[in-house]
Chains A and B, each alone.
Chain A
């Protein structure tokens, strides 16, 4: 048993970089014009590409380790906070996470030395499932956050930049232009 686990760990060690690169590539491919997102490495010039690269880079070793939901949350928040405000359906927003199962299988299967490991990925799949479920919760947290931001903005007074119903406006019928200078 310990020998098998070592083999799987070895397989991941050997292919982790390639798996991550394909996972990042796959995730960024969900954007209509993604060449720049894939190429530019500076995370401030390329916030989507940079954050996806950082988040998935943190998440992959945690999934391999089966670190648990609370460990997955920070990198998931980094990536889902972005996808929650882009025009993805909820499934589209989280589905790149699920892709790691298939990417891992394809890469392991392509190498004769690691091909046999595909039958041993139950724990890894389980970790991905946990992360995916957490991602749905996180997606909803950020959707709720954006609604509360919108409400807060309306309540804050910024909304009066145009649509205010301030007392002086309510007192006057629309169209009347009182330009009283008295007392001023």
Chain B
């Protein structure tokens, strides 16, 4: 009997392109060029979307063109290298954090195995230290004396087209979730390195459409979908009608109402896409039960801020829209819905980026409990979960948890609210009161150590579905554990991107699990005066 030897079998496994880079894994990483294949990259930004954004005051999105990552020639401007190096020099000067991050890494490796992209691919360039090294090597080679003289001996290299392509591949295999940063002894925020990489790429017209089209739409009409005021209003009204049919309670919903106490801003996906619409129905029911003096805006109709995934100027402009609307309507403060990166921008960047809030805004005070949200004294925006937790703490809500008896929940800490903002105990406190019992995922996958959905920062596009399943594996693996152990059937969270993308993630890894927002569960269990509910075996999802 003639059987191939093990080594020959290994050869057959290794022959051909390797995992995600297309490289034969025997060379050093600097010598292995990246290869782009269908399914391995998100589609480039549309020319007309970049042109529109570039035409807007204060925004800079130059070199719009039609190009393909699969082509050798990316049609870069002639002076692309000068633009990149000048851009890097400016940012090293402007952001002290970047300069420190470039200099202080000692390559201890603490971050290496903490990234969901690395854990799902085994690709060394997805180790956070290595992803940062893609930029750091250019910094050394072009900006430090040792790197200029010693080159690779000092870990330096020159900026080339190949390096630029590598940046594009790996800046879009990072969801800026910051899990790696909590393990770094120096506090290097690798997400901010990705942010800089993406900014530099946009300066030569390289970006992805799933980011740029929402930014363009938000700039133009106020929300990711490009919806104009009337359809936005109508859709909320439809959802209010659904709530009325289910609960028998007449809802009072207002739009662009001047003089309201509170402006409510949430991701537009909550208004239009499943499963976010059920969370939206939850907001409507909750606010009505409280008799809250609030209004929606059809112009600041988006909590999400995809500007964070492009450059500082776009992020600042989109964040500013919420406050421009808060000023126009004369509200005291903003109540923010279940969104992810909206909170990252508000909590981490807004103070130094946008400056003071409009004069009409005040330190938020709950009109129901009198609680002063001093934590929001500078931003004047309160998170719906801390708002709800405060209501429960003061016994202002009545719940019948049996109304959630169809739910066996676990809790996903969404990266931005949890890790970046510290909203960790509040949702657990709320969950304790609205369901009979729920189950935590393993300790090293929750709270500050939570694993990303794998599709944040504009990677929630279907053409890279396999990549998303790989990067979401660590999250899904923990979900599967509680599904197997406790027959969990619901994955709850407070992020619109999570609600959309975890749905696909669990459809692949643990079919049968439902993804929902926290306020959906709150509203399911809420008992209010004058209600005349139909039988709701699936809560707000019950079809009437």
Residues of A at the B interface (CB closer than 8 Å) are 26, 29-34, 36-37, 40, 42-48, 50-51, 81-82, 85-89, 91-92, 95-96, 98-99, 101-103, 105-106, 142, 145-146, 148-150, 152-154, 156-164, 166-169, 172, 174-175, 177-181, 183-184
Contact = CB atoms under 8 A, between A and B. Distances in A.
Interface in B94-126: 112-113, 118-124
A108 to B, nearest CB: 13
A105 B4 CA distance: 11
B120 A149 contact: no
Contacts of A37: 122
A168 B228 contact: yes
A85 B469 CA distance: 7
Given A156-B273, A158-B503, A184-B255, A31 B19 contact: yes
Contacts of B481: 44
9 contacts: A46-B113, A48-B122, A87-B17, A102-B5, A145-B511, A153-B465, A158-B460, A159-B462, A169-B225
A37 B127 CA distance: 13
Interface stretch (B133-141, B208-216, B239-247, B531-539): B208-216
B6 A85 contact: no
Interface in B25-54: 25, 40, 48, 52
A174 B442 CA distance: 49
Interface stretch (B58-66, B192-200, B362-370, B470-478): B470-478
Contact of B119 (A47, A145, A146, A160): A47
A183 B21 CA distance: 54
Given A157-B273, A162-B210, A102 B503 contact: no
A40 B14 CA distance: 23
Interface stretch (B229-237, B347-355, B381-389): B229-237
Nearest to B511: A145
Given A86-B470, A179-B229, A162 B224 contact: yes
A145 B504 contact: no
Contacts of B221: 177, 179
Given A30-B13, A37-B122, A48-B119, A158 B269 contact: yes
Interface string B485-524: 0000000000000001101100111010000000000000
B122 A161 contact: no
A168 B4 CA distance: 63
A145 to B, nearest CB: 6
A44 B462 CA distance: 26
B274 interface: yes
Contacts of B228: 168, 172, 178-180
B213 A42 contact: no
A47 to B, nearest CB: 4
A172 B220 CA distance: 13
Given A48-B473, A166-B225, A89 B504 contact: no
A149 B504 CA distance: 6
A34 B481 CA distance: 23
Interface of B is mostly: helix
A47 B122 CA distance: 11
B13 A162 contact: no
Contacts of B40: 87
A32 B466 contact: no
Contacts of B224: 161-162
B9 A95 contact: yes
Nearest to B268: A161
Nearest to B462: A150
B20 interface: yes
Nearest to B275: A156
B124 A44 contact: no
Given A47-B120, A153-B504, A99 B9 contact: yes
A181 B209 CA distance: 29
Nearest to A152: B507
A96 B18 CA distance: 15
A177 B151 CA distance: 52
B12 interface: yes
Nearest to B51: A175
B528 to A, nearest CB: 28
Given A32-B19, A47-B120, A183-B230, 6 more contacts: A34-B122, A42-B444, A85-B469, A95-B9, A146-B469, A156-B274
Contact of A156 (B4, B20, B503): B503
B227 interface: yes
Contacts of A145: 507-508, 511
